[in-house]
Structure 1
Amino acid sequence: MSVRCPDLPFLPGYTFNPNIGRTKFNVDPKFDFIGKGNRALVEKVKPNMFGPLSDKYPSIYPRGECVELPGWIVFDKQILTFDAFFQETLEEVKGSPFQIRKVKIYYFLEDGTIQVVEPKVENSGIAQGTLICRQRIRLPAPMDANFYDIIDFNVGKEIEFYGRVFKITNCDKFTRTFLNRCGIAVPDPSVTPTDPYLNIREHERDAMQPRKPNRAVDTLGKFLENDKKVLHFLAYWDDHDTEYGYIHNLEIRYYLADDTIEIKELQSESGGEPGFIFLRRGKLPKVYKELPTPGADTDYTILNVLGSALTSRRFIVDPLNCGKEKVDYYTDKDLSIGAVLNCYNRRIVLIDCDQFTRDYYSAKYGISEFNPLPLPDSEKEVNEIPPPKERELPPWNGFGTHEDSAQNCLTVDPKPPHRDFKKFLMYDRDGLDSHILRFQARLKSKIPENCDRIFIISYYLTDDTISVYEVGRSNSGFKSSMFLARDKVKLPGQKVFSSKPPECYTAQHMFIGATLIINGFEFILTDADEYALRFMELNCTMFPQSDIKKIMDKVREKLKPIYKDFVKENLPEETPQMSYEKLRAKLCRIMGSDFTEHEMVTISRAFNAVCYNERYDRDKIRAIALTELKRFLWDDLDRLREYFLQRDATRSGKLSRKDCYTLLKACRLPFDSELINRILDVIQKDDDCNLLYDDLLRFLDRNYCPTRDVPPINIKYNLWWGSEREPKVGTMIDWCAFNKYLNLESTFKEVIGEDTLKALQKKYKKEGDGEGEDNKGHEEENEEEENDANVAGCH
């Protein structure tokens, strides 16, 4: 041990070693009493070398009697310890307005710093430990210029640290001895008041202590008693509410060992697979809301998982099972004949049981009657099925089409809208049959220039789309262009943002005289092409304006009361024909607004009186053909006859049109294709449209009925089928055919008389005979059609 002067630095040369010059280093022995009657050898206390007093407690002696040392050396590791408490207000705990918190106050003598520590108590529910870290603390205001000193601490005093009041109740032995030697009297320890919160916890220890999460239920006894005991029931499920539903025959098995249910489907009338497991074995809940979430049906609830490694993980379990929901399951007391089970929202009716089940219920519940129930009548149930509900979609938001929006609502994966494929195959273009109805239209507008514009409206039957094309007229200011691209056109007056798809124009809206509103423009259909009129007449069930039978029935009902006046007023005097405009004016006045322009067009086409004479008949075509043969010096008729006989192996005297065309080309006849086709058109045919080649050979023989030569003509143009334009059908109407179809001849005879009627028919017949020999065949056809009450007139 070295001695140094505190005024000098702690460096070599400034310290004094008392062992220098010492030769004896033994310890002086000293015997003393340790306890009562126990002598022992203890270390002898040496006096202070700088004074007669010991240096063990230098701080309690007056100044000057010992060497003055700094405080951080003299009071090193010397701490005054006090027991204290403070009161904390509680607002959440009922019956405990505050709680008592015990602390330890440490006063470090070496530098006058203070530390407050609260000992940790297990399961306290509050954060404990160091409340005030080691530091010098000022006195409360208005004495906050000074710091706490040793004289401020004593048992029974109240001190305030940062607004919190601590009351000292006790101190340790070293503190009490140190204060007493300093002349400070230390009172006896005081009693710490009881904590009301701790009293509540002690009285309610059972409620506050955690419960065991695993509550095992002993089911071994029930299993041993009821093992291999199963209740069997027969039941059915009526699934007629669905589209292809039927009655399911089921077998229900209830296992008494663990109260589980298994449902098996038996052979049914619909041919279902026998032995199909309808419901796997398990407990069946009485009320089904939704499928349980993962972990909802476990025995306990895990609140948190602590730890990162798999081996050191631990779980915090909810001891109260706050989130667990009580579920009622079916038991044996809920099963009986006639009972209805709710099997996940499926209504299952029990109708019968086996003998073991009957004995079980008879012994346990005293039931004696077990009357089986019959199965329901499947046909009766089918008739009582309510119509399926239509799926409601959200309203259209204005983006894209209604079909695209509907597909996005039906499926998560967007798919293109379904097309009516059957309609596409039925009305797709097939050769010259385009299935496009074209109408001529004009624009109804307040601007005079727009009223003179001509439009062609095309209706496509394959997908119910409409296109509008404007036909430009010279000096009109409008050129020929597409007015509206092909698309579906919505009917006016509909809600734009609606969940239902909009109604569009259909084929039934297209007829002469109809008004179409397309994008705000009002179009009036004024005419139709021949293909559209012919298609609508052939499909008159789809187009009532083209059904001549319905139209004439409607006209007949209107003309019955006024038929006499109608005949007197409109009876033709010179010819049996009447103009379209005259009959239209009379019928429109009688029929009223219910009579459309298209119906009048149908009447005019049905009773057409316009005769059509071909420019080139059989004799003219034969003269042209013989002239061509003479010009090109062709005279090989015998070889052509041999070819015909060779091709006709059965000697039937007829060949197909294709074979005849091939043979004429093979014999190098100097004919153009148009002339050959016109020749084959006038050759005699049988019922199967096969050509009689003997007539064809006589047709090409110059010696048979010779004809005069004709000047050469442009065969490609003059004999082309489109070179001569047919007259428009319906400009003139056959009056006699129209009246005969009305079938009101009795009234007609009463008006003009029978003799006058016969005279008119005779006159009309003579005028018809004057048309020439070419029209005889047409007149015979007209007579047959009149006898059948069908369409009359020359076509």
Structure 2
Amino acid sequence: MSIRCPDLPFLPGFTFNPNIGKTKFNMNPKFDFIGKGNRALVERVKPNMLGPLSDKYPSIYPRGETTEIPGWIAFDKQMLCFDGFFQETLHEFKGSPFQIRKVKIYLFLEDGTIQVIEPRVENSGVAQGTLIARQRIRFPPPMDANFYDIIDFNVGREVELYGRVFKITGCDKFTRHFLNRCGIAVPDPIAAPADPYMDIRAHQRDSLQPKKPNRTSDTLGKFLANDKKILHFQGYWDDQNTEYGYVHHLQFRYYLADDTIEIKELQEESGGEPAFIFLKRGKLPKVYKELPTPGHNSDYTVLNVLGSSLSSRRYIIDPLDCGRQNIDFYTERDLSIAAVINCYGRKIVLTDCDSFTKAYYAEKYGISEFTSLHIPDRKKEVKEIPLPKDRDLPPWNGYGTHEDSAQNCITVEPKAPQKDFKKFLLYDRYGLDSHVLRFEARMKSKIPENCTRVFIISYFLSDDTMAVFEIARKNSGFKTSTFFARSKIKLPGQKVFTSKPPLCFTPQHMFVGATLIINEFEFVLLDADEYALRYMELNAGQFPKANIKLIMDKVREKLTPIYKDFVAENIPHETPVISYERLRSKLCKIMGTDFTEHEMVTISRAFSAVCYKERYDRDKIRALALTELKRYLWDDLDRLKEYLLQRDGDRSGKLSRKECYTVLKGCRLPFDNQLIERILQVVKNDGQCNLYYDDLIQFLDRKVCPMPDVPPVNIKNDLWWGSEQEPQAGILIDWCEFNKYLDLESTFKDAIGENSVKALEQKQPHS
């Protein structure tokens, strides 16, 4: 610390240099131990030179009589509490030169830290709370080398903490007893001086109070006593005297907390559930005359306003409340069974109440009889309102679609036409089911080049729209592109500018052999994809051209008179199959123009005799597998058998396909994934996706029926399931099944003879 004469000014040349004669200018650090064996650089705090509190001797014990327990254990959770105040100067407040602020001073015995807290006072205008956080506080200069201790705090003393002087006026009971046991006398509490600032504020607050007493009633007690208590009544409002009126079943609720009423109408169709709010919650007046005027619920009535300027304006309040209207509202005393409530001109009759309401009236008013009333029935049947007829709309003007024009004529505000959302959800794409029927078509035109063009016509079942796409051939002069964008296509031969909506193509117009005129272009449907044919067959009730039952009934009707001649002429001699073209030519002659190409396609698909022979059977797959094992020198069949037996805990001799696949991959067989799948496909199974692993072991054993080596093949390509193209169904027709479905087998046997019957029994169709 610097030593100087207090009479001299604090200016350069009038002070003494404190560093004269000093040779060490460091912070006096020293290495110390933190814990056992942990060195750390610690700055030692100077000992308290004035008070007895030091590192060796506590302040309350004489030298040589210190306790063995450390202070932070002996005085844990113990503190001294002092009451005090400090004076704060006020410069901006007129009439009060200073302010008295009361505080609480806490001295923690365990470590000698001090905390100062100012209790919060409502509407004080200053920030209150913790003024000085808990910490050890030094004496003011020039004694700042030492810290405050318990002997520095007592009633009547003044302490300076960070430049602010606190006057101690009292302490609590524990502090007084503690200091007395330590030999420190504690004076009696002293009174804090009056606060002139608070006195002025109190005087101003009293002067601002209204001269008129407060007229608002305190309803908090009633709310706390009756919160969530509701009286439930059942009632009705008979509105049958008006046109289309009926009996309204109502639910009447009275809230005891604030005397408000809420009415809900019950819906009979939903089992008595509240449908909508009949009366919003609020107080219900007994007599209703007119809408309330503005300010009817004000606490004061202004009689006159005096003064012209805003600063000097005054007003006179009516002390007698001559203009106040006393409105009589419904209370709990007015509610009972058979009571008639006037709800803004509607007479509501209460018919019944719940158990809580009965118990409430029985306890408070002594009412014991609660007889329910009967709700009246309808006096007359409700008249059925006739549905309005279709509006006569003006003719279509040619702008936009017909639906848009019709929608704009119905409403003044333009709205988009409503779509069939249920149909969209029913026929929307789901997985591989696209609900799109695709047909191959050719154009009929007088221009020869147009007749060779190939088109794909797609019909979307979700919204009955069509799209035409052209697939151009090389060097044809045309390009592959969209011929017609997706939209609804109108049927030809209709009037354009009419008020009625035009007829459009439906799914029933789409079949093989049909002729479609789309925007004055004529198309002939030549073929359909597999999805379209199968979808039409599965939904044969909607597509007559794909209904095999209707088609065969029509064929049976035509062939019944000439069946013998027809069978005798078309009997196959070598195999019991007949070609598509041959049967089609015969049926077209007999059926005439009533027989379409799609019906013939349906017959050929229903009685198809095309046989399918896989390129790789069991023997070829085994030869490929043994060749791969030989190439990679794999010979660990015993371990494979051991793993398969380990998987089969029940010794059933069967394992699932997944477990067999896992074992084959785990044993590191030199097989590709496609080859493993084909091996598991040809292994014997029980029909429930369980494979006999003994057959799998024999399949991979070279000693059992050895197979010759085969040249290597591209397994990934040749064994892929999509590499073998299935033959088109309907190229060959099973003649025997076709006649059997016609249900004329006896005539058929007489006509074809014994040799053909044997051939039918031993038929082997060829692709």
The TM-score normalised by the length of structure 1 is 0.48
From the CA coordinates, give the structure whose radius of gyration is larger.
1
TM-score by length of 2: 0.49
